[in-house]
């Protein structure tokens, strides 16, 4: 049979970044009501890492699924962030690529993960080199490397949002920098 996933995080397209949106993983699991406009909670802290999965769906028809793996540094850092809120200014390692359920994803291996503060918002980035040009998860404020935001890669004036799950070097949207696009309010996950 098919897998059953429990919805724990959502952000609707077009919604202004919430005033209490200081962290995209700021609330403990169970803090949100299904009728809430948005939800920035973590996955259950009691989850077993091995075999647990993360499903993300965006407004462009992309559905991607990751399987956590404690032997992969990138996957493990993501698990700790998504279940415990543990920050990292940058974890690199072997690619932690999702399975494409529908739509597409970038061709670049997802070898870098960050969950850190940028301009007052604790944000997530999973991509190939910490610049958000080939990301699969980009939530919160745009980030570049371990402590910056670059207008080459995103619109750094946007307080927070999400990026497409299949992000490539496309520009021309609200979150665009001069070379690619970061998180914005014109996307939803």
pTM value is: 0.91
Per residue in 29-55, pLDDT tens?
999 999 999 999 999 999 999 999 999
d(CA 39, CA 124): 15
What are the pLDDT digits (tens) for 5-33?
Answer: 999 999 998 899 998 879 999 999 999 99
pLDDT bracket for residue 181 (50, 70, 90)? low
* Contact predicate 101/119, CB 8 Å: no
Q: What is the pLDDT of residues 93-138, one digit of tens each?
A: 999 999 999 999 988 999 999 999 999 999 999 999 998 888 899 9
How far is Cα 182 from Cα 170, in angstroms, rounded to an integer?
Answer: 10
- pLDDT for the residue 170: 63
State yes or no: pLDDT of 171 exceeds 80: no
Alpha-carbon separation of residue 132 from 45, 126, 136, 142, 161 (angstroms): 27, 8, 9, 8, 13
Q: Is it the case that residue 172 has pLDDT exceeding 90?
A: no
For residues 53 and 4, give the distance between their C-alpha atoms in angstroms, rounded to a whole number.
Answer: 10
Maximal C-alpha separation, the chain: 45
Greater pLDDT, 160 or 74: 74
Nearest-angstrom CA–CA distance, 125 and 135: 7
């Amino acid at each position: 049979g098919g897998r059953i996933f429990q919805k724990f995080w959502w952000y609707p397209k077009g919604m202004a970044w919430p005033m209490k949106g200081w962290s995209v993983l700021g609330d403990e699991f169970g803090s949100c009501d299904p009728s809430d406009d948005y939800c920035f909670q973590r996955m259950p802290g009691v989850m077993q890492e091995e075999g647990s999965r993360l499903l993300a769906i965006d407004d462009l028809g992309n559905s991607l699924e990751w399987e956590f793996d404690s032997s992969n540094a990138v996957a493990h850092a993501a698990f700790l962030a998504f279940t415990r809120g543990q920050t990292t200014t940058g974890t690199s390692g072997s690619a932690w690529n999702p399975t494409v359920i529908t739509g597409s994803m970038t061709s670049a291996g997802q070898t870098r993960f960050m969950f850190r503060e940028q301009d007052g918002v604790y944000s997530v980035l999973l991509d190939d080199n910490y610049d958000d040009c080939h990301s699969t998860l980009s939530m919160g404020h745009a980030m570049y490397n371990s402590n910056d935001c670059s207008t080459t890669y995103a619109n750094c004036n946007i307080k927070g949002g999400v990026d497409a799950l299949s992000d490539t070097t496309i520009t021309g949207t609200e979150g665009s920098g001069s070379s690619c696009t970061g998180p914005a309010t014109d996307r939803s996950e």
